[in-house]
Structure 1
């Protein structure tokens, strides 16, 4: 057999070995792996018929409880419909989780594919040359994230908290409009903690599902008797705004230095670069959200009002 023939067989073998997945009668061909997390992975897939590309999230479930968590995520996607929240195109389960026989199941979530990637990706690219965003563009994107949160926090009959808001969980459209994604950490906004067992349970969930450098102080050390509400997201929102100004959460810088993120968050320490291009009004908007005591932290409507005031002030500056 000549080299060309062998080469063609190898190439055909690669094509034939492309994984395809059937979801409710539609076949999707896996093109590449986009990312992996502790509980799931995301692949770029193509619909075999329409050739349209999507992001396919796979969640491996090792138990019935894992299946319930995955089903809850799907439920949130279906009911939380807003222009700034990612839509669920389709979903299904394959297999059956049963710890007794060591079986696993897998949840498949078909989601829109955003070529620009996430806000985290965008900021990382710009950080290489310290290419700061224009403040008006910052506030425009930030306002879209606020609108997504407002929809969650005001949702009826039961308000919802995202609990893992960060730049990596905000996709960007071609027009740089923000789209909030990853609803796997979503939970009822208000949680009544009654005793040490409740507190430890929520603390463990937060440690597992809420990114440390964006996590609110009250989720690091949950008090035995307290009420946790949607203002956990407001802390994270403050970290997102800081990242839009200076490319990373203020506590990413702490983590990279090898210092304790826990202690820095609990102390409420926030440092702004002295050579940054942004004025005190913008920094004060960040500080407005990064209040260690959640009872002193604003709800989303006040954040939106303060952001609107700042945008109007900038519009009057010649």
Structure 2
């Protein structure tokens, strides 16, 4: 009996060792293949960089983890450009990264172009992020865990801080592809936005079939359907498309972080009709659900701006808001169509007073919000949020900040 037990244990150990050997062999082969397919070392921004591993790819770009001579990690985006359109897109992305210097936006360190026959290789060197929000959610899902409300609000606070910096530009910058995959966790433990290849700096309103077709093709190439606002899905409604599309995407992101599912499937009609359901028996407060409804307001003219969203998140966190306020509000021309063409002026508005900018800080304590003007007069009636400036009793210009007591039914 003892002999057979020993033999049985020996066989079991042998099988375990054999399986371990197979796993190690596969890992070694995978690592060897990865190393063999990595590009040769390059010099970008005065740094000698060797490629460590591929982090991801999409379109005509691949992102690698690289290290310099001192072992410092970087993210290097390598793009094989073949057309003038692709070249213009990459130049625009590099310019955008240089413009949007912010603690919650991935920092660009350098860039370079190398002519390779009929191709042009473009390199964008950026700070390296330790984790992605998508990876963090996958880990939680595998363990059967979820984010707490405190964690969700912390993530959204960082993302809103980045978006406020974009929307505070003159003209405002719309990201247009805010989604889980484009939020990273940096080595400084701050969540950061990445991938600015879909940004636009001018609003547009398609006015005819040709404009709608051109805009639809461009939106299909550069944005993600599950996060698109209704005005991006129904271009024939001829509604203004501007930075308010980011607010809708923030609502989708907030929903995803809370319930680990998206509010909309890949169906345009569902998005246009704003048909979604909040899961029952969840542990989140009514206020955070109300904020989701607020962001997912179908009419972009009634959808709140980023400062209202950020302020409500700060209220729920019990901390001052950490946002970048626009120095001066100047209405921008509305482009007719996607590229080129005539333009018409937006309805004139009064300029806002110039509050001081607030610098983002680590998550433990958000930066103080710029002081607002005296209490505003009652907001004009009409709409969930009338996104208008109106005069306070002291003659200054104020903006609405209160959350309405009721949200639109999904």
Normalization by structure 1: what TM-score? 0.83
Which secondary structure state, in structure 1, belongs to the residue aligned with residue 240 of structure 2?
strand
Matches of 2:112 and 2:209 in 1, distance apart?
A: 37
1:20 deviates by: 1.1
CA contact (8 A) 1:198 1:224 kept: no
Structure 2: segments with no counterpart, 5+ residues: 1-31, 320-410
Tell me the number of residue pairs that the alignment of Structure 1 and Structure 2 aligns: 286
Which secondary structure state, in structure 1, belongs to the residue aligned with residue 108 of structure 2?
coil
Please list, as runs of the form range in 1=range in 2, the aligned pairs for 1:138-177 lying within 5 A after superposition: 138-156=152-170, 158-174=171-187, 176-177=189-190
Q: Is 2:56 aligned against 1:35? A: yes
Q: Is 2:78 aligned against 1:58? A: yes
Please list, as runs of the form range in 1=range in 2, the aligned pairs for 1:262-273 lying within 5 A after superposition: 262-273=268-279
Matches of 2:173 and 2:95 in 1, distance apart?
A: 12
Q: Is 2:219 aligned against 1:206? A: yes
Matches of 1:194 and 1:107 in 2, distance apart?
A: 36
CA contact (8 A) 2:231 2:239 kept: no
Please name the residue that 1:112 is paired with. Answer: 127
Write 1 or 2 for the structure with the bigger share of strand. 1
CA contact (8 A) 1:199 1:224 kept: no
CA contact (8 A) 2:38 2:51 kept: no
Matches of 1:232 and 1:120 in 2, distance apart?
A: 21
Q: Is 2:307 aligned against 1:301? A: yes
Please name the residue that 2:109 is paired with. Answer: 89
- Greater shift, 160-169 or 53-62, is seen at 53-62
Change (3 A) 1:174 1:78: closer
Please name the residue that 2:373 is paired with. Answer: none
Deviations 1:34-63 (A, max 9, x none): 11112311111111x222111111122111
CA contact (8 A) 1:242 1:250 kept: yes
Q: Greater CA radius of gyration, 1 or 2?
A: 2
CA contact (8 A) 1:196 1:224 kept: no
Change (3 A) 1:15 1:78: same
Structure 1: segments with no counterpart, 5+ residues: 1-10, 98-102, 256-260, 314-318
Deviations 1:228-282 (A, max 9, x none): 111000010001111111223222xx35xxxxx2122112112222132113221
1:189 deviates by: 4.5
Kindly report the root-mean-square deviation, in angstroms, between the aligned alpha carbons of the 2 structures: 2.2
Q: Is 2:146 aligned against 1:132? A: yes
